[in-house]
């Protein structure tokens, strides 16, 4: 992932706790002052319209998840607004943004704007711009490479504060890691705002701010060395022991999206079940997933059915009514009924050789 380093003045902050936030269509969006209760932020004025998310975090690690749709982003369409003199103006592809601010006035802004050409090719893509504003007002804007979708579809965006870093992942069909940048230990977030440019209309479908547990620390502590996994596979007499890859999916992508094209190693657990270890292929949180971390555990139920605990791309265990079915020794389907009957399919690989781990001191941790 691209890493952007931003220099900030040192300011001493005290770590404070915060209230977690969960908002969607069922819970309502009453926090949007003077806005409709359906999550719509519509701007007909000539300056950016900002709405503040309540109970913003401070210095603690946290994750902000947002699903939203830019309703004023159609090709060849202009959207009207009134300037300060009451005259009608028009804008094409008005942008929207998420802003993290601290008590010293510094800001980290993720701005979603549409990069479009002169109409010759008709190609459009929505490209994130990361804008960092320092305490003295100095501003740095980085155009992040590659588009992440187009049009008015739902976009999912995740901003995570972890230690001194803030990471960004975004996407339409699939979440992708965009960048990680250093904000500094003293960048204590105390406000989160959503902004819509003149003529813009943003529909917020879901928004949450959650305190981060050390889930990847737990995964690291139970991680197995790749060499040990290779031994378990080669020494096993079970025909299902081996290497598996994501081969298909049937997902309600409003609720569940793939975090990568995973390759997993399956070993027996000694009790009639199986352990699936991550070997590679993560696109979301690719810098945190390491080979040998447990991705899934299967506990036998009856016949070819297993109770499953699947660890998602965020390191969170999904276990509620999750079951897996084996079709022979070469196909495994994991069912997620709580996500509108979403499924993922894994198939056994032939002639797969895992890459050895590399360590600075040539030892396995």
pLDDT for the residue numbered 269: 94
Mean pLDDT of 178-204: 86
Residue 321 to residue 340: CA distance in whole angstroms: 12
State pLDDT tens for residues 9-61. 211 122 223 334 545 544 455 545 444 556 889 999 999 999 988 766 654 67
Mean pLDDT of the chain: 78
Strand partners, 257: none
**Residue that has been written with the tokens 């020794």 in this structure:** 329
Q: Can you list the pairs that 32-39 forms with residues at least 24 positions away whose Cβ atoms lie under 8 Å?
A: 32/204, 38/203, 39/203, 39/204, 39/205
34 CB-near residues (< 8 Å, 6+ apart) = none
pLDDT for the residue numbered 59: 44
Task: Check if the beta carbon of residue 305 is closer than 8 Å to that of residue 294.
Answer: no
How open is the CA angle 290-291-295, to the nearest 5 degrees?
90
Structural domains present in the chain: 2-212 (2.60.120.200), 216-348 (2.40.128)
Which of 306, 283, 311, 282 minimizes the C-alpha distance to 218? 311
Write the secondary structure of 85-150 as one string of H (helix), E (strand) and C (coil): CCCEEEEECCCEEEEEEECCCCEEEEEEEEEECCCCCCCEEEEEEEEEECCCCCEEEEECCCCCCC
Residue 324 to residue 305: CA distance in whole angstroms: 6
pLDDT for the residue numbered 107: 84
Selection from 18-22, 188-192, 361-365 with the highest mean pLDDT: 188-192
For 318, the 3-state DSSP assignment is: strand
Q: How far apart are the first and last CA of the chain?
A: 24
Q: What is the DSSP string of 259-306?
A: -EEEEEEEEE-SSS-EEEEEEEEE-TTTTT--TT-EEEEEEE-STTEE
pLDDT for the residue numbered 184: 76
347 CB-near residues (< 8 Å, 6+ apart) = 244, 245, 247, 330, 331, 332
Q: Is residue 213 scored above 70 in pLDDT? A: no
Q: Is residue 141 scored above 80 in pLDDT? A: no
Neighbouring CB atoms inside 10 A of 167's CB total: 21
pLDDT for the residue numbered 26: 47
Q: Environment class of residue 244 by beta-carbon count within 10 Å: exposed (0-12), middle (13-18) or buried (19+)?
A: buried
Task: Check if the beta carbon of residue 224 is closer than 8 Å to that of residue 277.
Answer: yes
Return the structure tokens found at 133: 């504003």
State pLDDT tens for residues 308-338. 999 988 787 888 789 999 999 999 999 988 7
State pLDDT tens for residues 102-122. 878 888 888 888 766 545 555
Q: Is residue 307 scored above 90 in pLDDT? A: yes
State pLDDT tens for residues 252-287. 665 666 788 899 999 999 999 999 999 999 988 888
H/E element holding 167?
Answer: strand 165-171
Task: Check if the beta carbon of residue 162 is closer than 8 Å to that of residue 182.
Answer: no
362 CB-near residues (< 8 Å, 6+ apart) = none
170 confidence band (pLDDT: 50, 70, 90): confident
The residue that leads in pLDDT, 185 or 151, is: 185
Return the structure tokens found at 161: 């504060």
State pLDDT tens for residues 217-252. 888 988 999 999 999 999 999 999 999 999 988 876
Task: Check if the beta carbon of residue 4 is closer than 8 Å to that of residue 181.
Answer: yes
- Of the listed ranges 2-6, 154-158, 248-252, 333-337, the least confidently predicted one is 2-6
- Of the listed ranges 85-89, 286-290, 293-297, the least confidently predicted one is 286-290
Which of 149, 154, 178 minimizes the C-alpha distance to 166? 178
pLDDT for the residue numbered 272: 93
pLDDT for the residue numbered 20: 46
State pLDDT tens for residues 63-95. 888 888 889 988 788 999 999 999 999 998 899
**pTM, rounded to two decimals:** 0.56
Selection from 210-214, 230-234, 358-362 with the highest mean pLDDT: 230-234
Q: What is the Rg, in whole angstroms, of the alpha carbon atoms belonging to the chain?
A: 23
Task: Check if the beta carbon of residue 107 is closer than 8 Å to that of residue 191.
Answer: no
């Amino acid at each position: 992932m691209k890493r952007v380093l931003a220099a900030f003045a040192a300011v001493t902050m005290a770590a404070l706790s915060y209230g977690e936030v969960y908002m969607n269509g069922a819970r309502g969006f009453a926090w949007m002052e003077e806005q409709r209760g359906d999550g719509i932020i519509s701007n007909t004025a000539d300056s950016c319209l900002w709405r503040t998310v309540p109970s913003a975090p401070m210095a603690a690690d946290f994750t902000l998840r947002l699903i939203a749709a830019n309703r004023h982003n159609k090709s060849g369409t202009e959207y009207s607004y009134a300037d300060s003199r009451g005259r009608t103006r028009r804008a094409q592809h008005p942008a929207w943004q998420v802003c993290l601010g601290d008590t010293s006035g510094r800001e980290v802004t993720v701005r979603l704007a549409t990069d479009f050409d002169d109409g010759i090719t008709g190609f459009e893509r929505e490209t994130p711009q990361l804008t960092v504003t320092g305490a003295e007002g100095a501003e740095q804007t980085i155009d992040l490479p590659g588009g992440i979708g187009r049009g008015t579809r739902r976009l999912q965006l995740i901003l995570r504060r972890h230690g001194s870093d803030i990471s960004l992942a975004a996407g339409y069909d699939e979440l992708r890691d965009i960048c990680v940048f250093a904000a500094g230990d003293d960048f204590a977030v105390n406000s989160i705002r959503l902004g819509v440019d003149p003529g813009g209309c943003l529909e917020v479908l879901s928004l949450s701010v959650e305190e981060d547990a050390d889930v990847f620390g737990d995964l690291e502590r139970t991680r197995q060395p790749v060499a040990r996994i290779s031994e378990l596979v080669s020494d096993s007499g079970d025909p299902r022991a081996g290497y598996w890859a994501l081969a298909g999916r049937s997902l309600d992508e409003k609720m569940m999206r793939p975090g990568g094209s995973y390759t997993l190693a399956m070993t027996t657990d000694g009790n009639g079940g199986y352990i699936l270890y991550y070997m590679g292929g993560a696109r979301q949180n690719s810098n945190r997933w390491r080979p040998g971390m447990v991705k899934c555990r299967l506990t036998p139920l009856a016949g070819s059915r297993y109770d499953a605990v699947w660890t998602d791309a965020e390191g969170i265990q999904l276990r509620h009514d999750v079951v897996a079915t084996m079709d022979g020794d070469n196909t495994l389907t994991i069912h997620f009924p709580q996500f509108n009957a979403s499924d993922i399919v894994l198939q056994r690989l032939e002639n797969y050789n895992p890459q050895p781990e590399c360590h600075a001191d040539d030892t396995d941790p």
